[in-house]
Amino acid sequence: MTMENRFNLIDEPWIPVADHGRVSLRQIFKSPEYRSLGGNPVQKIAILKLLLAIAQAAATPKDDVEWKELGADGLARRCLDYLDQWYDHFYLYGDKPFLQVPAVAELIEKRTSSKFSSAKTGTKKKEAELGGKPKRLGAGFYPDMPSSNNTMLSHTLFERNLDDKDKALFVVMIMNFSFGGKRVEADMKSLAGKEMGSRYSAPAGPSLGGWIGNLHSFVSTGSVLSSVWVNLITASYIEKTKMWANGIGRPVWEVLPSSEDCEIAKRYKSSYMAVLVSMSRFALLKDEGIYYMDGINYPSIKEGWFEPSLILDRSGSDIKTKYVDPDKRPWRELDSLLAFISGVESQSFECLSLRIGIDRARDIVPRFAVWSGGLKVSVNSGDQSVKQSDDFVESQVWLYGDVLGESWFGQLKKEMDELDTLSNTLWGKVRSYYSALKADNGKDINKTPAGKMARGAKGLFWQLCERDFQELVDQCDQTEIAATQRHKLRQRFAGYVNQAYDKFCPRETARQLDAWAKCRPNNSKYLKKEA
């Protein structure tokens, strides 16, 4: 039976854009005025990767010279021509549904039929029928299926009926960021004939990573279209890095793998396209749900998986990556991310997207941003989920290209080191306050009242500092006006230390007042140092 082609992602509005609501792929490449993508951080990364995949398929430049000649406008024209050429491959529903594998429906139908025919009771037959129905999509907020025993802690977990634009966004998200675990279809053979038992557990999408959740960074120019152009990779760079044996590769909507282990899939795994749209799940939208199977599996970062947006440390025997940490938002890592500006080759973490993107952006726009974000997850028995303090994080810091250099970076690092010292001093003073009140009698400092209050004060201090961090970055050049402004900012930051200390160290009784006065932080050294 021929399926109706409907909801074409090229023309239908489904991409969230700041200040504009939902827009189509065609609008993205026709509208340079769109400032930034909307949605949560994972949605932003997934959409940017898709836009980059389209751009790479349409117009991969040979080298940086050709990249510059192409320009954002030239890239937009090439992408629009490409979308017209492959228009029939961007339907969300139909014979060739976008980023979906219709063959999974036959596997599930076969499994259902087998279980139903072997069932001995009416209850078992009913279970077999229910097991063959599409899985629920939940809220569509996370790139995962809802668990049957989820505790509903926020609106992001409550199930709702997703419309087509949200389903399109969900399908794009799960390609790279699917949670590892057992919520995939199981108790059957895969498309490649692999046995998947009743407790089969699928690995996480490579961009999320199999542990806590990877942090990603990109350069943003203040225009979605221009940002895609700045983050475009060249053929010469692909050849230079030797990270992708099959080069750029072809996107999966052009050539769909027949299984997770077919020749097309094998070639795809070692191409740059797999970084952008990993196809880590073979899925098919059906009715109000989805058939959801394990897809193409990828190596871990330690085993050689590489994405330019990851923040990696290759200096040791094992490759390490920066994970998402809700307690340490990405802007606090800015001096580490920009260490290459100092002129000294970094021996620790480095992000190639920033190294390449900043060199490009400073030549085409006066001001650009470093955007970093991701999702923190928890792992339990191989299942990834969002629990307790897990959360999305993102930061965006704007930079002026004409002041970037060793002196600017040196000043930034100095200021960040001083803020770290303030933070650690605050932590120690709050702990001392509670120790003076005999509230620190546990062996594990993190579980004592003193430790919990010290962490709370430290967290509040950094929250207060965040509102002024952009101004601090803007005042790291070596001028008298900037030095004056930095001194004013130091007074503000010192005030935040006292504000956090006072909030977490009450002085309502005589004993509290005595401990408060004895342990109160002294910020005079920080204020006297040359800013």
- pLDDT, mean of residues 480-488: 94
How would you class 387 by CB atoms within 10 Å of its CB: exposed for 0-12, middle for 13-18, buried for 19 or more? middle
pLDDT tier, 438 (very low <50, low <70, confident <90, very high otherwise): confident
Q: Which pLDDT score, from 0 to 100, does residue 79 have?
A: 98
- pLDDT, mean of residues 29-49: 97
Q: Which pLDDT score, from 0 to 100, does residue 146 have?
A: 81
Half-sphere exposure of 164 (CA within 13 A, CB side): 13
Q: Which pLDDT score, from 0 to 100, does residue 266 have?
A: 96
Measured N-to-C along each axis, helices 406-436 and 510-519 cross at an angle, to the nearest 10 degrees, of: 150
Q: Is the pLDDT of residue 156 over 80?
A: no
- Residue 321 phi/psi, 5° resolution? -135, 155
Give a yes or no: residue 447 inside a domain: yes
Q: Is the pLDDT of residue 316 over 50?
A: yes
Can you say how many angstroms the Cα of residue 350 is from the centroid of all Cα atoms in its chain? 16
Looking at per-residue pLDDT, the higher value among 124 and 75 belongs to: 75
- Closest by Cα among 259, 278, 254 to 268: 278
Give a yes or no: residue 335 inside a domain: no
Q: Which pLDDT score, from 0 to 100, does residue 152 have?
A: 46
Task: Point out the least confidently predicted range of 46-60, 310-324, 433-447.
Answer: 433-447
Q: Is the pLDDT of residue 530 over 80?
A: no
Q: What is the DSSP letter of 292?
A: E
Q: Is the pLDDT of residue 269 over 50?
A: yes
pLDDT tier, 451 (very low <50, low <70, confident <90, very high otherwise): confident
Yes or no: say if 297 and 201 are a contact pair by the CB < 8 Å rule.
no
Partners of residue 378 on adjacent β-strands: 385
Q: What is the DSSP letter of 105?
A: H
Beta strand pairing status for 349-350 and 216-220? unpaired
Partners of residue 285 on adjacent β-strands: 290
The helix or strand, by DSSP H or E, that contains position 518, with its residue range, turns out to be: helix 510-519
Rounded CA Rg of the chain: 26
Looking at per-residue pLDDT, the higher value among 89 and 381 belongs to: 89
Q: Is the pLDDT of residue 204 over 80?
A: yes
- pLDDT, mean of residues 2-18: 92
Q: Which pLDDT score, from 0 to 100, does residue 443 have?
A: 57
3-state SS track over 242-290: CCCCCCCCCCCCCCCCCCCCCHHHHHHHCCCHHHHCCCCEEEEEECCEE
Within 10 A of 13 (CB to CB), how many other CB atoms are there?
16
The structure tokens listed for 6 are 């409907």
Q: What distances in angstroms separate CA 109 from CA 92, 106, 282, 304, 340, one per listed residue?
A: 21, 5, 15, 37, 54
Q: Which pLDDT score, from 0 to 100, does residue 491 have?
A: 96
Task: Point out the least confidently predicted range of 204-208, 315-319, 515-519.
Answer: 315-319
Q: Which pLDDT score, from 0 to 100, does residue 440 have?
A: 65
Give a yes or no: residue 103 inside a domain: no
Looking at per-residue pLDDT, the higher value among 33 and 140 belongs to: 33
Rounded to whole angstroms, the Cα distance separating 32 from 30 reads 7
Give a yes or no: residue 116 inside a domain: no
Dihedral sign (CA 116, 122, 127, 132) = positive
Domain at 462, CATH number: 1.10.132
Within 10 A of 302 (CB to CB), how many other CB atoms are there?
12
Give a yes or no: residue 468 inside a domain: yes
- 3-state helix, strand, coil split of the chain in percent (to 5) is 45, 15, 40
Rounded to whole angstroms, the Cα distance separating 449 from 218 reads 39
Q: Which pLDDT score, from 0 to 100, does residue 448 have?
A: 73
Domain holding 476, by residue range, is: 405-528
Q: Return the amino acid letter for 317.
A: S
Q: Is the pLDDT of residue 19 over 80?
A: yes
Rounded to whole angstroms, the Cα distance separating 226 from 72 reads 5
- pLDDT, mean of residues 60-77: 97
Q: Kindly report the length of the chain.
A: 531
The structure tokens listed for 129 are 């029928």
Half-sphere exposure of 99 (CA within 13 A, CB side): 24
Give a yes or no: residue 440 inside a domain: yes
The domain total for the chain is 1
- Closest by Cα among 280, 345, 334 to 311: 334
Rounded to whole angstroms, the Cα distance separating 351 from 336 reads 10
Rounded to whole angstroms, the Cα distance separating 398 from 400 reads 7
Greatest Cα pair distance, the chain, in angstroms, is 85
Q: Is the pLDDT of residue 360 over 50?
A: yes
Give a yes or no: residue 472 inside a domain: yes
Q: Is the pLDDT of residue 447 over 70?
A: no
Q: Which pLDDT score, from 0 to 100, does residue 382 have?
A: 82
Partners of residue 240 on adjacent β-strands: none
Give the start-end residues of each E strand in 65-209. 91-93, 188-189, 195-196
Q: Is the pLDDT of residue 153 over 60?
A: no
pLDDT tier, 528 (very low <50, low <70, confident <90, very high otherwise): confident
Helix and strand element counts for the chain (H, E): 17, 16
- pLDDT, mean of residues 153-176: 83
- pLDDT, mean of residues 453-458: 94
Q: Is the pLDDT of residue 260 over 80?
A: yes
Q: Is the pLDDT of residue 147 over 80?
A: no
Q: Return the amino acid letter for 208.
A: L
Rounded to whole angstroms, the Cα distance separating 308 from 219 reads 11
pLDDT tier, 27 (very low <50, low <70, confident <90, very high otherwise): very high
Q: Which pLDDT score, from 0 to 100, does residue 340 have?
A: 84
End-to-end CA distance of the chain: 73
Q: Which pLDDT score, from 0 to 100, does residue 4 have?
A: 87
Percent of the chain having pLDDT more than 90? 82
Looking at per-residue pLDDT, the higher value among 388 and 222 belongs to: 222
Rounded to whole angstroms, the Cα distance separating 144 from 237 reads 34
Q: Is the pLDDT of residue 151 over 60?
A: no
Within 10 A of 285 (CB to CB), how many other CB atoms are there?
22
Task: Point out the least confidently predicted range of 73-87, 196-210, 269-283, 331-345.
Answer: 331-345
Q: Which pLDDT score, from 0 to 100, does residue 329 have?
A: 94
Rounded to whole angstroms, the Cα distance separating 283 from 202 reads 13
Give a yes or no: residue 181 inside a domain: no
